[in-house]
Amino acid sequence: MERVEVTLRDIDAALPIVREVGLHTPTVPFSGDDEDVWLKLENLQRLGAFKIRGVWNRISQLTDAERRLGVSTISSGNHGLAVAWAARRLGIPCTVRVPEGAVGRKVEAIRAQGAEVSPLSRSDLIDAHERETWRSWPSAFLHPFAHPATIAGQGTIGREIAEEDSFQESERPSKDSCLGPRCSGSRRKAPRPFRCPCGPANPIGSIARKRSPTASGSG
């Protein structure tokens, strides 16, 4: 896989595009046992997850020729749902290849958005990511994570946190307190160029649910 480069400028450019459909979700205090923390409530985002940010930024950059081909992706859940929703909104044909073992209700949610759902075996899933067999598919492939526009779209979460008016200066998260989402499918965490709302040089931790049986870069 080629190295993916994303800059703060890319994230800034993505922000107005993301806000065409995405919500500026609230950042709220949560009292822990030892110290207060702040939560970015992306569960209140459209479709219930942050994935619409990256998907909308990516699909908005497709050429007219690519849109005519339709879009496809690999996903066992939220990424596929976001792609299906965005494609339906733009009138673009959509196919979501779903790895075997995916949660039934998530698959049905994708199908309910009008996408064609195609099952993907474990071996084909591995080939798609390791050998990039998706390059031979006839439609425009929206990678679950490895595309600059997708990463920049997801990075708008950090930009919103950095600009959050509700923080007092003393409350603003430090480099030791910033945690970002790591999705169960791709296992990717916050994008390197904007990992911490305090600045791009600061590291960030990551949190995730227990690894799912379909997890192999499926989003």
Alpha helices (runs of H) in the chain, residue ranges in sequence order: 8-18, 51-59, 64-69, 78-90, 104-112, 122-130, 148-162
Strand bridging mode 27-31 / 36-40: antiparallel
The helix-helix angle for 8-18 and 51-59 (nearest 10°) equals: 90
CB 25 within 8 A of CB 45: yes
Options 40, 72, 75, 76, the catalytic residue: 76
Contacts of 131 (CB under 8 A, 6+ apart): none
What's the count of helices (H) and strands (E) in the chain, helices before strands? 7, 8
Asked if 40 is an active-site residue, the reply is no
Q: Tell me if residue 104 falls in helix, strand or coil.
A: helix
Q: What does the block give as tokens for 209?
A: 């649910």
Give yes or no: 76 in active site.
yes
Catalytic residue (choose from 51, 72, 184, 212): 51
Q: How many CB atoms lie within 10 A of CB 201?
A: 8
Catalytic residue annotation: 51, 76
